[in-house]
Amino acid sequence: MSGAIYQRVALIGLGLIAGSMSLAMRRAGLAGEIAGYARSEETRRIAREIGLCDRIEDSAAAAVEGADLVVLCVPVGAMGDVAAEIAPALAPGATVSDVGSVKRAVIEAVAPHLPAHVHFVPAHPLAGTEHSGPRSGFAELFDNRWCLIVPQEGADRAAVERLEALWQGMGALTNEMDADHHDLVLAVTSHTPHLIAYTMVGVADDLGRVTDSEVIKYSAAGFRDFTRIAASDPTMWRDVFLNNREATLEILGRFTEELFALQRAIRTGDGAHLHAYFTRTRAIRRGIIEAGQDTDAPDFGRARSG
């Protein structure tokens, strides 16, 4: 196929990210053939039914055979086992990548299993929705979203640049980042906000004086968007927190300090502190909009339902 960056791509795990990758690669003609594998027989059946990939295999080893790019799209906690399973079937010169939202733990879990004749180039697309499963993908998911490429020391530059070109072809903006810095940045921008969202929904559930029906019926935008975040895949998020423990705990400690300061300002009637704090944080929100990572339209720019 002319314009193809990889002749054969294998996607291991067939949820939102893998499905969107397959559709985005097809949209731009970036892959000659796309093979897929998922552990669940039901997921494989649905993927075949909707034509998610060109081929759906019944084993990970069969999916990666002859592939020049293999992308691990499974929960972070499963990456090591999958890498061990596919290692003997990997073609010489192939690139192995992933889409995990933690990088140091993935590198430590995956790298020891990979043979010397392949290139390991970890990556993380900063894109997603609260939906999961093989029907949840859509080709536009990565458009104008960042994908962070996290090459290890001594990585083959041609392999890194080829993977970056693929992500750019799928609509993403790319940047390279060190694994530990990535994990700290994501603890701030994604992991801790998810934990806070889960906590707030849990608080509403535990608070006996507000009924469930009231919480559901009177959800204003703030709580409604907390519940959207908290609807995310529980296995994935369990693995994220267990595998990015240090950075998440550091940011949670900072968050707790800020929360205590705000509690004190509210308790003492310190309106000047509250106004200054909210003014500063509002500017960050404006910066996100100006960077094109969201819109200032109603409903957080998420009119799209699926």
In a domain, 97, yes or no: yes
Closest listed residue to residue 195, CA positions, set 277, 145, 254 = 254
Q: How many Å is the Cα radius of gyration of the chain?
A: 21
Number of structural domains the chain divides into: 2
* Residue 173 and residue 185 share a domain: no
Q: 249 lies in a domain?
A: yes
On whether both 86 and 217 belong to a single domain, the answer is no
Predicted local distance difference test score (pLDDT) of residue 299: 53
pLDDT of residue 227: 78
Do 40 and 137 share a domain, yes or no? yes
The pLDDT, as a whole number, for residue 107 is: 98
Residue 293 or 158, more confident: 158
Both ends of the chain: CA-CA distance in Å? Answer: 31
Residue 119: CATH number of its domain: 3.40.50.720
Range of the domain at 29: 6-177
Place of tokens 């061990």: 84
Say yes or no to pLDDT of 292 above 90: no
- Give the pLDDT confidence score for residue 298 in this predicted structure: 53
42 and 173 together in one domain? yes
Q: What counts of helices (H) and strands (E) characterise the chain? A: 13, 9
Let me know whether 190 and 47 are in one domain.
no
Q: Mark whether 148 and 262 lie in a shared domain.
A: no
CATH of the domain at 256: 1.10.3660.10
Assess whether pLDDT exceeds 90 at residue 141: yes
1-56: per-residue pLDDT in tens? 448 999 999 999 999 999 999 999 999 999 999 999 999 999 999 999 999 999 99
Nearest to 151 by CA among 176, 132, 172: 176
pLDDT greater than 50 at residue 136 = yes
Instruction: Write down the pLDDT at residue 55.
Output: 97
Tokens of 224: 């409604």
Is the pLDDT reported for residue 252 higher than 90? yes
Query: What pLDDT digit, counting tens, does each position of 195-245 carry?
Result: 888 888 888 878 777 777 787 777 766 787 777 788 888 888 899 999 999
Contact 35, 94 (CB under 8 A): no
Instruction: At 219, list the tokens.
Output: 């959800």
Asked if residue 23 is part of any domain, the answer here is yes
Q: Which two tokens stand for residue 148?
A: 């962070």
156, 254: one domain = no
Going by C-alpha positions, the residue among 15, 11, 39, 13 that lies closest to residue 26 is 11
* Dihedral sign from CA coordinates of 29, 35, 39, 42: positive
Tokens of 113: 């299993």
pTM above 0.75, yes or no: yes
For residue 113, what are the CA distances in angstroms to 82, 94, 107? 9, 14, 10
- Let me know: does 63 contact 90? Beta carbons within 8 Å: no
Residue 185 vs residues 57, 59, 158, 178, 188: alpha-carbon distances, Å: 36, 35, 26, 11, 5
- What average pLDDT score do residues 149-171 get? 97
Q: What is the pLDDT of residues 81-129, one digit of tens each?
A: 999 999 999 999 999 999 999 999 999 999 999 999 999 999 999 998 8
